[in-house]
Structure formats: structure tokens, C-alpha cells
Amino acid sequence: MVFGAIFLSYFVFVAALGLIARRRNKGLDDFLLAGRRLGTVTSALSAQASDMSAWLVIGLPGAAYTLGYSAVWIVVGCIAGTVFNWFVLARRLRVQSERYAALTLPDYFEARFGDDGRHVLRLISVSIILLSYCGYIAAQFIAAGKLFETVSESIPGFEVSYNGGILVGAGIVLLYTIVGGFIAVSWTDVLQGMLMLVAVTLVPIMAVASMGGVTSSIDLLRLSGDPGEILSFSQGKTGAAFVLGVFLSNFSWAFGYPGQPHILARYMAIREERKVPVAGTIAAVWVVLALFGAFALGLVGRALPGVSPADAEHVMPCVSYELLPTWLCAVVCSAALAAMMSTADSQLIVGSSCIVEDLVVKTIKVPLSSTRALWLSRATVLLLTLLAIGVSLRKAEVFAQVFNAWASLGAGLGPALVLSVLWKRARKGAVAIGMVFGVGFVHVWPRVHAVLGWDYLADPLVLGCIGSVTCIVVGSLLFSGRACSE
């Protein structure tokens, strides 16, 4: 009863935020980008909460539980990507997106490189976003299903199946996103970001204390598997096998950051571009604490006696149930649900903007009043949610599913965005080729790699980004004509 009451209270609170934010949605620019008036702290925390997703409390601890110390390279990669985004891209994107009156990333690409009436860059970028988000949003609902499934096995009287968990998580996200739009999403992300941070730092500290301190915890971790792998930052590999097979494949998360529209939207929406460095500092501190906390959570889950999840991605709720009183366990599990919600809501808004703003209004040129555009956006959020629920009914690994979508967005959109803000000579035709190559490589390379049978270079994201950059740079230098709409 206590567990369910706390969960219900959390749901009611975030739904109330959506109702409050509803009054601020006067048009499509409010629904999609909060009228570019997000505050510094809101921008920082909502960007990081929407970035981390259920991957932070479900996927990353599961990876650390399985890989041991070598999972730290994932943490390092995500920190590097966050810092690059905030201190290299954010301010430039904020300035240029306002200059071009761009509400979406496809909007920005088309305005930055000029529109010849064929909407090539807009259509390519919209396709990449929508195809990637089908799996990405579904991964958040899968995490909700796994969370409720694990909790139901542990808490007497709390019975929610995997499918039921999906519906509960999707339902609450759908409610406040449809009602409150980007403003509600950003407000709830601040709350959820704080809750996530408390959860992933509190639980490992309590676990280490229960095992008698750091030294005792490491000793128990050593007994949990092969010390040469679990307690090794290299998984026992050296030379090229370590650099290409362990370090780069885990650090590669950094390369995906410039291509994530749900993160980039916060940079475009911040109220004052001069506040970006302050927001970036807040975001960097948050991400360091949260990522190392989630990494430690996976390790202590492996070391803690009595914890042996059948699925490595169940480690967070299993450790919480083992250590915490029921009410605090409910709060921590609410944080896991918050992580799912903080990304799914942002991606639903971005997906809706792609369909309404980019396809209906800008490409097909259907005349819509501000009110009709707003209601069409809400209907699109509902449709995307239903599609993601359908995909999530096929249970999959959250970590892998998130990475597949992350890599598609990172290689497909990231190089184009970076070069668009840093290099004036980038040209439209070359950017289009680079986008198609990047996303195509991510989907083709795993099959080619399997045929080759290599032990390393399995990760397609890094190679996809390198190939995309090469296409854009070489193509821009070779193509004739106007560089861009300066």
C-alpha cells in the first residue's frame, strides 16, 4: 500500500505540472520550444534529464554489473560529449536558430543551407529523427515495464505486469506532455533530474556502508567473478584490442551527443544565450555525479550479497529492495520511472514537431491556424506514443536499444550540425550525402562486421561519424555554387 501510494502521489504531481503549464501554451512555438524563455537552471537540468533517460538507472547500472570497471569508459565518453555540446555547440546553436527563426533542427538545417523548394535536408533529417525515435521512445517504455515487473516480484501487494508497467509509464507521460507541451516537459524534467541524481548517489553509498566500507566492497566484488575482467579497466586486453575493442567502443557514446534533437532543443530554448556557460557548468556537475553514481550502482549490485537479478538491467530495483525501507524504495523506483519519463516526453515533443512543423506546415504547406497546429501536435504525440507502446511490447535490452537509436541520430545528424555551426564552407549537397552515409553506415556496418569476424571495430558510431564528416568536407570542397545562406 505504501509503495503504491508514493508512486501514485508522484504521478499526480507531474500531471499537475502539466495542467499548470497548459495556460502558457498560446501557440505552436510555445508547445514546441517554450517560446525560447527557459531559465538557466531549467535548461541545464532538463537537458541532462532528457539526455540520460532510463538508460541512466536501468541500462548503465546493468552494463557496469556485467562489464565491471571497464564500463567506466562509457561514463567518460558521456561526460566528454556533454561538455562538448554545452561549451562548443550550445551558444552557437542558440544564436543561429534564433537568427533563422528555427523551431526545430530540420528547420535550422534548411534555413542554414538555403531552400531550393525541394526540402532535401528537412526530409532527410525528419526521416532520421522519426525512425530513430520509434526505438528510442520504446526503450523508455521497456524500462518502465522492467521496473514494474521487478518491483511486483519483490513487494507484496504490488502487482503490475511488464505490459501493465508499459501502459502506466506511457499513460502518465502522454498526459502531461499533451496538456503542457515543452514547458511542462522542461519543468518535470527538472524535478526528475533531481530525483534521478538522489537515487543514483544515495543507493551506492548505502550499499557500500552495508558491506563495511570501500575495501570490503571491493573484496566482495572480486569474489563475484573473474577479477581479471571485473576489476580491470581493459577487460584484460592490451594494444589494439583494448583501444579499439574496449575503450573506443565504450567511449563512442561521446560522438553521438551533437546529433540528439531532444538535447539540442534545450539550447535553442534557453532565454539568454549569455547564460549558456553557466547552464553548461551546472549540467557538467550534474552529469559527473549522476554517471559515476549509476556506474557505482552496477558494481555494488554485483558485490552485494543477496542480489542476483536474472536480468542485469534489474539491478537497480533489486539493490533498492534489498537495502531500503519500503517507502524509500518507492521513492528510488520513482526516480527510475522519472528517468524514463524525462526522455520519452522530450522525444515525443520533438517527434511531434517533425510531423507538424516540418512536414505539414513547412513541406506540404497546409495552412493551419495557431490553435489547429497546437491540437494537431497533441494528436501527433498520442500517435507516436501508441506506436512506441507497440514496439515496446517486444521486450528488449534497454542499453542496446538506446545505443542503436543514439548511434543513428549521432552519425546521421551530429557531423552535419557540428560543421554547420563551425565551418562556413559546408554546403547543402555535401551535408545531405553526409547525413545519408552516417545513418546508413550505422545500420549496415554491424552486418558487415559480423561477416568479417573481427574482434574489434564493432561499434558503428565512430566510423559512421568519421565517414559522414569526410563526405561533408570533401563534398563541400568539390561542389560548386553558393556555400550557404549567410
Q: ∠ at Cα 411 (122, 127), nearest 5°?
A: 30
Evaluate whether residue 425 is within a structural domain.
no
CA 316, 147, 249 angle in degrees (round to 5)?
60
Does residue 465 belong to any structural domain of this protein? Answer: no
395 assigned to some structural domain: yes
Residues of the chain where predicted confidence (pLDDT) is lower than 70: 1-4, 7, 11, 14-15, 17-38, 116, 153-158, 176, 179-188, 338-339, 342, 480-486
Place of cell 509509464: 169
Tell whether 198 is covered by a domain. Answer: yes
In a domain, 478, yes or no: no
- In total, the chain counts a number of residues equal to 486
Please give the Cα distance from 415 to 262 (Å, whole number).
Answer: 16
Tell me if 63 is assigned to some domain: yes
What's the pLDDT score for residue 9?
77
Q: Is residue 43 part of a domain?
A: yes
The CATH number for 318's domain is 1.20.1730.10
pLDDT on residue 486: 40
Residue 374 in contact with residue 221, Cβ under 8 Å?
no
Q: How far is CA 149 from CA 317, 342, 372, in A?
A: 10, 20, 40
The whole-number pLDDT of residue 33 equals 53
Please give the backbone phi and psi of residue 206, each rounded to the nearest 5 degrees, phi first.
Answer: -65, -35
293, HSE (Cβ side, Cα atoms, 13 Å): 22
Structural contact between residues 182 and 265, judged by C-beta atoms closer than 8 angstroms? yes
Dihedral angle of Cα 196, 201, 203, 208, to the nearest 10 degrees: 170
| pLDDT (0 to 100) of residue 484 | 46
Number of domains in the chain: 1
Tell me the backbone φ, ψ of residue 270, rounded to 5 degrees: -60, 145
The pLDDT value recorded for residue 154 is: 65
Domain extent at residue 155: 2-399
Is residue 207 a part of any domain in this protein? yes
pLDDT (0 to 100) of residue 210: 92
Q: Which is it for the CA torsion 266, 186, 354, 387, positive or negative?
A: positive
